[in-house]
């Protein structure tokens, strides 16, 4: 038995029967993330100032365990998780992330991990089974369909979703699975391929206590199956705390504590704070952190203690005066029961002081450089205060390894799990060979496109409102046009009426695509989540979306064309009339989708589309011909997507010497005269060139759409 300098009893028991192997552990060394923030000086000027969101955080997350990242608001929990998951742009994050002792680049981390976002972004009209099957199609391209079904059925059972197997996911407008079930489906989508790393951002957010408990239990099972699980969590219940194996507590981007939850009380004892009877040590530690944060010393004093072992100065009674919440009285007894069930006997006020620290394993940790970096990592003091070792005595340790060796840490070897009961990580057998992961995507481009098309058709079939609303509008407006502009007179007014019909048709087809703005913006979040870990290519998504809507656009154009062509007895070619309407829908749809990919929300999307619609309408040649538009604005006539369908419809109707009216002077006006007066007449028939130009614009907008998806739609910090 040993006694430390603080008078707290410490039993150092190292179980030599269990090897201290950290194969599969996720290690991180000196993670630092600095951003530039604007700050207003006393003189009223704004200056740029560096702010450390993460400040030299070093540690690890053991394999087979749940590592919970906790801390007060603004501690940097989500930023830290993003740093581990490779979601901070290269060059912005300093430090190293290692798996099995091998340094991992952000792209490599994404290929070996899954990231479950705080918001559940799923298609509401797919069932639980269909959602997971599509995830299997994307992530498990190398196995047969029967094996995918078996994998999905097994996963549904493991996640406790058997009763909701054929239930729609649902959303605010349609009922579906419960919040806890939806969260478990989100987890299932990202673990279907058995990732070796699993990151979860606030998995219990918005859930009731029972649902939150169920979600963490399933995550605990996933961890025991061999995955390294890291999650952020805010104010976990006492029952959830029993399922957490490893803690990383942060405050203002600095490390406050790392180790087993059952050793938090021991850590508090070393800094001179005793856990009040009946309180949760974890919650009390966070309260202590907040007390220091509000004091003159700041959290830097606690961060210094973690690195060097120098005991932080005591706080005054006023600084410790704010009240702390009292946990349920059954917390201590529940924890004791849990530890007894795990084969760990309580000693010294409910804490097992047996030491099993990674830093004692010099072979695995000295090679990664973590021990050396910890010894050489200075703490940044907010007030540049340097604690006096003499005044801090007896809590001052001369060697940083002294305090590090006092932090017991759970190991995956502490648990006995039948891995046959779970879907084991596909990379668990790879060991350190993470640099040979095979192809980046599980499927070929054509296979991805086919799967995406199938999913699109299912969503359209189950949510036909968007398609039917467009078809209804075009049908009703077609009948109105057929009755309003029927039998135009052989006069100049009759010619004007026919021109008005054509320009209104062009505007109608442009506006009919505007409702695609909110639809795509909602789907974009799902795209970002799925492609962040290489479920499919942005190119296959672009092509699949285009092909899916081609038949629906054709049907819309055909309905309007049939109604108006025969009722108004239009001249020219009906086939050309149908094609130009179809291509007009295609080009405007491509434009709207491109705009939707750029704007952050549908309100700005609508505003942008309406603004461009007004500009395109103004410069299409109806109000002023291209010849009469001022030279400095003529380029707007060329980029207007309304110019070419409008001129194409006029050419199809009037490219002939047939008389269409008479002037007041009795002069006959032929179709050629009308086109010449509008400065769109060409000796060679140019009407098919209008189709080609419109197709060119459609292709250009789709290419721009792809570029935005490929390079600007990454859910990543800069």
Please tell me the distance from the alpha carbon of residue 408 to that of residue 405, in angstroms, as a whole number.
8
Unique residue bearing structure tokens 């109707």? 653
Residue 406 is predicted with a pLDDT of 36
Residue 558 is predicted with a pLDDT of 96
Domain with CATH 3.40.50.300 in the chain: 26-121+193-261
Inter-axis angle of helices 492-511 and 538-568, to 10 degrees?
150
The CATH architecture annotation of domain 26-121+193-261 reads 3-Layer(aba) Sandwich (3.40)
Q: What is the DSSP string of 253-318?
A: TEEEEEE-GGGHHHHHHHTT-PPPTTS-HHHHHHHHHHHHHTSSS-THHHHHHHHH-PPPPPPPTT
Cβ atoms within 10 Å, residue 57:
24
Q: Across 624-675, where does the E strand assignment appear?
A: 659-662, 668-670
Residue 717 is predicted with a pLDDT of 62
pLDDT tens digits, residue range 417-465? 333 444 444 433 343 344 455 678 888 999 999 999 999 999 999 988 8
Dihedral of alpha carbons 237, 286, 88, 39, sign? positive
Residue 345 is predicted with a pLDDT of 36
Q: Is the pLDDT of residue 389 over 70?
A: no
Cβ–Cβ < 8 Å for 246, 68:
yes
Please tell me the distance from the alpha carbon of residue 539 to that of residue 401, in angstroms, as a whole number.
51
For residue 320, give the DSSP letter. T
CA atoms within 13 A on the CB side of 586: 26
> Which secondary-structure segment (H or E) carries 38?
strand 26-40
Using alpha carbons, select from 500, 512, 532 the residue that is nearest to residue 650: 500
135 or 196, higher pLDDT: 135
Helix (H, G, I), strand (E, B) or coil at 372: helix
For residue 327, give the DSSP letter. P
| 5-14, 90-99, 450-459: segment of lowest average pLDDT | 5-14
Cβ–Cβ < 8 Å for 302, 315:
no
Q: Are strands 102-103 and 46-61 parallel, antiparallel or unpaired?
A: unpaired
Q: Average pLDDT of 118-137?
A: 91
Residue 52 is predicted with a pLDDT of 82
Most confident residue range from 16-30, 317-331, 411-425, 465-479 = 465-479
CA atoms within 13 A on the CB side of 159: 26
> Which secondary-structure segment (H or E) carries 605?
helix 602-618
Residue 28 is predicted with a pLDDT of 92
| 228-232, 294-298, 431-435, 491-495: segment of lowest average pLDDT | 431-435
- Counting beta carbons within 10 angstroms of the beta carbon of residue 483, is it exposed (0 to 12), middle (13 to 18) or buried (19 or more)? exposed
Residue 321 is predicted with a pLDDT of 61
Residue 655 is predicted with a pLDDT of 86
Dihedral of alpha carbons 392, 397, 400, 401, sign? negative
Using alpha carbons, select from 159, 85, 174, 75 the residue that is nearest to residue 126: 174
Cβ–Cβ < 8 Å for 232, 78:
yes
Please tell me the distance from the alpha carbon of residue 637 to that of residue 680, in angstroms, as a whole number.
12
272 or 582, higher pLDDT: 582
With cut-offs at 50, 70 and 90, classify the pLDDT of residue 718.
low
Please tell me the distance from the alpha carbon of residue 196 to that of residue 226, in angstroms, as a whole number.
7
119 or 651, higher pLDDT: 651
Q: Average pLDDT of 182-193?
A: 89
Cβ–Cβ < 8 Å for 188, 130:
no
């Amino acid at each position: 038995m040993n006694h430390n300098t603080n008078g707290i009893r410490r039993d150092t028991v190292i179980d030599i029967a269990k090897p201290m192997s950290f194969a599969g552990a996720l290690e991180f060394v000196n993670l630092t993330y600095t951003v530039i923030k604007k700050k207003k000086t006393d003189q009223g000027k704004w200056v740029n100032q560096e702010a450390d969101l993460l400040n030299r955080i070093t540690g690890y997350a053991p394999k087979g365990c749940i590592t919970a990242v906790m801390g007060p608001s603004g501690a940097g929990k989500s930023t830290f998780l993003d740093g581990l998951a490779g979601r901070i742009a290269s060059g912005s994050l300093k430090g190293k992330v290692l798996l099995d002792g091998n340094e991992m680049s952000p792209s490599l981390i994404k290929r070996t991990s899954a990231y479950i976002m705080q918001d559940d972004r799923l298609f509401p009209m797919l069932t639980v089974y269909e959602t997971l099957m599509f995830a299997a199609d994307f992530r498990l391209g190398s196995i047969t369909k029967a094996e995918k079904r078996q994998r999905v059925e097994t996963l549904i059972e493991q996640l406790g979703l058997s009763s909701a197997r054929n239930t729609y996911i649902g959303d605010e407008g349609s009922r579906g699975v419960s919040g806890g079930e939806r969260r478990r489906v989100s987890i299932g989508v990202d673990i279907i391929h058995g990732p070796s790393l699993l990151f979860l951002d606030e998995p219990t957010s918005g859930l009731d206590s029972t649902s939150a408990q169920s979600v963490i239990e399933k995550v605990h099972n996933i961890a025991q199956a061999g995955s390294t699980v890291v999650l952020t969590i805010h104010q976990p219940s006492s029952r959830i705390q029993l399922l957490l194996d490893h803690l990383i507590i942060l405050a203002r981007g600095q490390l406050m504590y790392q180790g087993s939850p059952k050793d938090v009380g021991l850590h508090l004892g070393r800094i001179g704070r005793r856990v009040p009877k009946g309180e949760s040590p974890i919650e009390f530690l966070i309260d202590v952190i907040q007390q220091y944060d509000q004091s003159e010393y700041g959290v830097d004093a606690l961060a210094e203690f973690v690195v060097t072992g120098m005991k932080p100065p005591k706080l005054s009674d006023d600084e410790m005066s704010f009240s702390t919440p009292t946990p349920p009285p059954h917390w201590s007894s529940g924890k004791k029961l849990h530890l007894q069930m795990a084969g760990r006997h309580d000693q010294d006020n409910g804490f097992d002081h047996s030491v099993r620290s990674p830093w004692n394993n010099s072979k695995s940790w000295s090679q990664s450089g973590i021990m050396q970096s910890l010894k050489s990592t200075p703490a940044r003091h907010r007030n540049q205060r340097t604690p006096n070792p003499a005044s801090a005595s007896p809590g001052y340790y001369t060697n940083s390894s002294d305090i590090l060796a006092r932090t017991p840490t759970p190991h995956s070897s502490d648990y006995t799990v039948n891995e046959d009961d779970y879907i084991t990580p596909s990379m668990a057998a790879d060991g350190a060979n993470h640099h040979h992961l095979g192809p980046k995507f599980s499927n070929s481009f054509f296979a991805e496109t086919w799967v995406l098309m199938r999913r699109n058709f299912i969503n359209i079939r189950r949510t036909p409102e968007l398609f039917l609303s467009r078809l209804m509008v075009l049908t009703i407006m077609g009948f109105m046009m057929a009755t309003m502009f029927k039998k135009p007179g052989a006069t100049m007014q009759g010619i004007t009426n026919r021109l008005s019909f054509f320009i209104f048709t062009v505007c109608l087809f442009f506006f009919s695509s505007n409702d695609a703005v909110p639809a795509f913006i909602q789907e974009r979040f799902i795209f970002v989540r799925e492609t962040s870990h290489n479920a499919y290519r942005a190119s296959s998504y672009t092509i699949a979306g285009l092909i899916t809507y081609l038949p629906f656009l054709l049907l819309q154009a055909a309905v309007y064309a049939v109604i108006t062509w025969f009722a108004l007895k239009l001249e020219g070619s009906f086939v050309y009339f149908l094609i130009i309407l179809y291509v007009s829908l295609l080009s405007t749809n491509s434009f709207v989708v491109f705009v939707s990919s750029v704007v952050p929300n549908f309100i700005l999307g609508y505003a942008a589309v309406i603004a461009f619609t007004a500009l395109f309408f103004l410069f299409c040649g109806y109000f002023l011909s291209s010849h009469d538009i001022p030279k400095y604005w003529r380029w707007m006539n060329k980029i207007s997507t309304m110019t070419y369908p409008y001129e194409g419809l006029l050419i199809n109707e009037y490219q002939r010497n047939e008389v269409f009216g008479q002037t007041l002077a009795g002069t006959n006006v032929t179709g050629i005269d009308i086109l010449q007066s509008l400065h769109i007449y060409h000796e060679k028939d140019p009407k098919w060139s209008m189709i080609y130009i419109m197709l060119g614009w459609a292709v250009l907008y789709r290419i721009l759409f792809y570029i935005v998806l490929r390079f600007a739609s990454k859910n990543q910090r800069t």
